[in-house]
Amino acid sequence: MGKRKHSETTSESKPSKSSRNVKIAIETPSKNVDSPYLAAFPGTQPPASTPFTSYRSLDGNEKKRLVIGETEKVKFTGSNSGEDAPESYCQYLVGVYSKSKNTVTLTPAPVLRIHRNVKSLALSDDTIRKKNTQFNEAKTSLGLAFGTAKAKKQLKDDERNAVTGEQLKNAIHDMHREIGESSTGPTRDEIKQAMKDDLPIPAHNLEAEQPQDAYDLSSIVTDEELVVMPVKELIQAKPQTTKDLYPLLPYGHSKFINDRILETIQASGKTDRPRLRVLMYISYLMAYLCRINPKDLKNRRKMETIMNNPPNIILDQLAERYTTHEVRTPFMNDKILCYMLVLCLSVADYQLNPDILAKDLSLKSTKVATVLRNLGCKVDTIKSKTHGSTTKKASLIVPLKFPEISRGRR
Per DSSP, what are the bridge partners of residue 74? 118
On whether the CB atoms of residues 394 and 351 are closer than 8 A, the answer is: yes
Of 117, 94, 83, nearest to 39 (Cα)? 94
pLDDT at 8: 45
pLDDT at 145: 76
Report how far residue 178's alpha carbon sits from residue 189's, in angstroms, rounded to the nearest whole number: 21
CA angle 307, 370, 331 (to 5 degrees): 55
Strands 103-108 and 23-26: parallel
Per DSSP, what are the bridge partners of residue 352? 394
pLDDT at 150: 79
- Please classify residue 377 by burial: count the beta carbons closer than 10 Å to its beta carbon, then call 0-12 exposed, 13-18 middle and 19+ buried: buried
> Residue by residue, what is the 3-state secondary structure of 156-177?
HHHHHHHCCHHHHHHHHHHHHH
Spans of the chain, pLDDT less than 70: 1-20, 29-33, 60, 62, 83-89, 120-131, 160-198, 405-410
- Residues whose CB falls within 8 Å of the CB of residue 78, separated by 6 or more in sequence, listed in order: 39, 66, 67, 84, 112, 113, 114, 115
- Residues whose CB falls within 8 Å of the CB of residue 395, separated by 6 or more in sequence, listed in order: 350, 351, 377, 378, 380
pLDDT at 362: 94
Residue 38 has phi, psi (to 5 degrees) of -105, 125
pLDDT at 173: 62
Q: What is the pTM of this model?
A: 0.55
pLDDT digit string, tens, across residues 130-161: 667 777 777 777 777 777 877 777 777 777 66
- Residues whose CB falls within 8 Å of the CB of residue 302, separated by 6 or more in sequence, listed in order: 296
Kind plus residue range of the DSSP H or E element containing 342: helix 330-346
pLDDT at 42: 72
Kind plus residue range of the DSSP H or E element containing 333: helix 330-346
pLDDT digit string, tens, across residues 1-53: 455 544 444 444 444 444 467 788 777 766 666 778 888 777 777 888 888 88
What long-range pairs does 132-135 form, CB within 8 A, spacing at least 24? Answer: none
Report how far residue 102's alpha carbon sits from residue 128's, in angstroms, rounded to the nearest whole number: 61
